[in-house]
């Protein structure tokens, strides 16, 4: 389970499937969590099946289960009926398994119930790990989530434009007075109109999944801060964002809450902290966050900047920290709501795993293999392997070209210490 939980989050379904396969053979495994806005479906197994699974199908399966329960049932998955094992964790994360037919036939109802209980127990660890990784909003998670969100949004936009043009053309033809069969025209028009409505609603459904209202994100922040401040003798003033503020992409909302929690903990580490003000705003292009305190002004600005810089740089944001002895401290964050304009090499960067991104960040600063190995705590031979993989994935022939790709992408090494 340590291997399942500690690897890159996007591949957690593959590792979990490998873990379960020896005890409970299956053809496909899907994890569905709305915590991960970039990739709410994490899948492993038969590509013909897992690539066709829809969010609506998973939502339907989830609604048949109460929190903390599991069941065996015939349900629609990838457009066809399958016998499934499904578990809905208490965190509201869903696990769906398509068991091997020979495995199912060997189990009676009591065995199935016991099996689901055992699967639910280990899945609870996986679901908790996913929650924690999203809440921590590491730079790796934010970069992967933003890339996935951008790719999904681009795909939906392209498909929407294509289908709208096609369906609008059909409607125009069918509404022409040159056609004689009135009933056929009416029926076809209704069909095309319904298809247009369904298509346009796909974008709305994606926004519901991938965005949070700024007021909702701020309310969630307040809930997350209560346990941190429960035993602190500090008065906290919250300045709510405008109710009509632009929605936040999921990865921005997660990063904002994670950084505010870190700032609050840094403020509370000061002696004699009396009052704290937390304000969110939105200017249409950025979410603007400001924290001020009435404290001694002894905030460790250097340590806090180092702690926040990875997330801020990943989202192309800005940070300002001021701390004046006897007057107090102020931290301001500016986080863009939109990802940077697409680059020609963006699709290549999406193929890199977290370790390769780390190596690329060091290549961007001109470091040699020995130095990179020392800073990452791995062998030089491993670094050579990663560098060779980078050359292949980025379609470059030397370290300079690879470093240039990293520089254009703004990929920098994480702060040490």
Domain boundaries, the chain: 2-136, 139-211, 214-336, 346-409
- If one compares 345 and 273, the residue with the highest pLDDT of the two is 273
Among 7, 270, 325, CA closest to 141: 7
Q: What is the mean pLDDT of residues 249-278?
A: 90
Reply yes or no on whether the pLDDT at 228 is more than 50: yes
One fold for both 214-336 and 346-409?
no
The answer to whether residue 394 scores a pLDDT higher than 90 is no
With 0-12 / 13-18 / 19 or more C-beta atoms within 10 angstroms meaning exposed / middle / buried, residue 341 is: exposed
Q: Residue 17: which pLDDT band, with cuts at 50, 70 and 90?
A: very high
For the CA atoms of 382, 383, 387, 393, the dihedral, rounded to the nearest 10 degrees, stands at 50
CB distance 10 to 42 below 8 Å: yes
Read off the pLDDT band of 417 (50, 70, 90): very low
pLDDT band at 327 (very low <50, low <70, confident <90, very high): confident
The answer to whether residue 227 scores a pLDDT higher than 50 is yes
Q: Look at residue 314 in the predicted model and tell me its pLDDT.
A: 83
Helix 139-174 and helix 182-210, axial crossing angle in degrees, nearest 10: 170
Q: Is the pLDDT of residue 106 over 80?
A: no
Provide the 10 A C-beta neighbour count for residue 225.
Answer: 19
Which pair of tokens denotes residue 310?
């990875």
Question: Residue 285 pLDDT more than 50?
Answer: yes
- Whose CA is closest to 214, among 187, 195, 241, 190? 241
Residue scoring higher pLDDT (162 or 106): 162
Average pLDDT of 112-128?
91
Q: CATH assignment of 346-409?
A: 1.10.10.10
Topology of domain 2-136 in CATH is: Beta-Lactamase (3.30.450)
CA distance 47 to 391: 28
Size (the chain), residues = 417
Structure-block tokens of residue 178: 């040159």
Q: 294: which residues sit within 8 A by CB, 6+ positions away?
A: 273, 274, 275, 276, 328
Evaluate if residue 57 carries a pLDDT over 50.
Answer: yes
pTM: predicted TM-score of the whole model, two decimal places: 0.60
For the domain made up of 214-336, give the CATH fold: Heat Shock Protein 90 (3.30.565)
Among the residue ranges 135-139, 307-311, 374-378, the one predicted with the least confidence is 135-139
> Is the distance from CB of 288 to CB of 334 less than 8 angstroms?
yes
Looking from the CA of 126 toward its CB, the CA atoms found within 13 Å total 32
- Under a CB-based contact definition with an 8 Å cutoff, are residues 79 and 52 in contact? yes
pLDDT value for 416: 54
Higher local confidence (pLDDT), 139 or 151: 139
* Residue 106, CA atoms < 13 Å, CB-side half-sphere: 8
Position 293 scores a pLDDT of 92
Q: How confident is the model at residue 311 (pLDDT cuts 50, 70, 90)?
A: confident
What is the model's pLDDT at position 27? Answer: 93
Question: Nearest 5°: CA angle at 413, between 407 and 417?
Answer: 160
Question: Which own/partner pairs from 364-373 qualify as long-range (CB within 8 Å, at least 24 positions apart)?
Answer: 364/403, 364/406, 364/407, 364/411, 364/412, 365/403, 365/412, 365/413, 366/403
Residues 95 and 123: beta-carbon distance below 8 Å: yes
What percentage of the chain has pLDDT greater than the value 90?
Answer: 34
CA distance 249 to 38: 9
Q: What is the pLDDT of residue 35?
A: 77
């Amino acid at each position: 389970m340590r291997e399942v939980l500690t690897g890159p989050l996007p591949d957690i379904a593959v590792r979990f499937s490998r873990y379960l396969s020896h005890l409970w053979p299956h053809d496909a495994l899907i994890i569905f969590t709305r915590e991960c806005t970039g990739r709410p479906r994490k899948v492993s197994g038969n590509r013909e099946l897992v690539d066709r699974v829809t969010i609506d199908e998973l939502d339907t399966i989830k609604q048949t289960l109460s929190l903390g329960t599991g069941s065996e049932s015939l349900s629609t998955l990838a457009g066809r009926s399958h016998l499934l094992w499904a578990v809905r964790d208490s965190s509201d994360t869903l696990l769906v398994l398509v068991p091997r037919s020979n495995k199912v036939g060997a189990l009676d109802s009591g065995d199935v119930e016991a099996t689901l209980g055992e699967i639910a127990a280990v899945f609870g660890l996986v679901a908790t790990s996913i929650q924690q990784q999203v809440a921590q909003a590491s730079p790796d998670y934010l970069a992967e989530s933003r890339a996935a969100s951008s790719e999904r949004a681009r795909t939906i936009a392209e498909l929407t434009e294509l289908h709208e043009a096609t369906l609008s053309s059909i409607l125009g033809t069918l509404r022409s007075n040159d056609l004689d069969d009135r009933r056929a025209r009416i029926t076809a028009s209704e069909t095309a109109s319904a298809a247009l409505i369904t298509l346009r609603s796909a974008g709305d459904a994606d926004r519901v999944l991938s965005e949070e209202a700024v007021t909702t994100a701020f309310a969630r922040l307040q809930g997350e801060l209560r346990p941190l401040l429960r035993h602190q003798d500090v008065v906290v003033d919250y300045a709510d964002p405008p109710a009509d503020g632009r929605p936040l992409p999921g990865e921005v909302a997660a990063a904002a809450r994670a950084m505010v929690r870190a700032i609050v903990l840094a403020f509370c580490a000061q002696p004699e902290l009396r009052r704290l003000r937390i304000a969110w705003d939105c200017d249409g292009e950025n979410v603007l966050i400001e924290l001020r305190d009435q404290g001694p002004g002894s905030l460790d600005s250097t340590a806090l900047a180092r702690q926040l810089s990875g997330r801020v740089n990943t989202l192309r944001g800005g940070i300002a920290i001021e701390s004046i002895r006897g007057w107090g401290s102020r931290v301001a964050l500016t986080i863009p709501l939109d990802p940077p304009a697409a680059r020609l090499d963006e699709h290549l960067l999406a193929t890199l795993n977290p370790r390769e991104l780390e190596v690329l960040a060091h290549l961007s600063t001109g470091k040699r293999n020995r130095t990179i190995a020392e800073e990452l705590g791995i062998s030089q031979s491993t670094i050579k392997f990663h560098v060779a993989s980078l050359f292949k994935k980025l379609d470059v022939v030397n370290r300079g070209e690879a470093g240039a790709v990293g520089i254009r992408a703004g990929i920098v090494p994480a702060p040490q210490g």
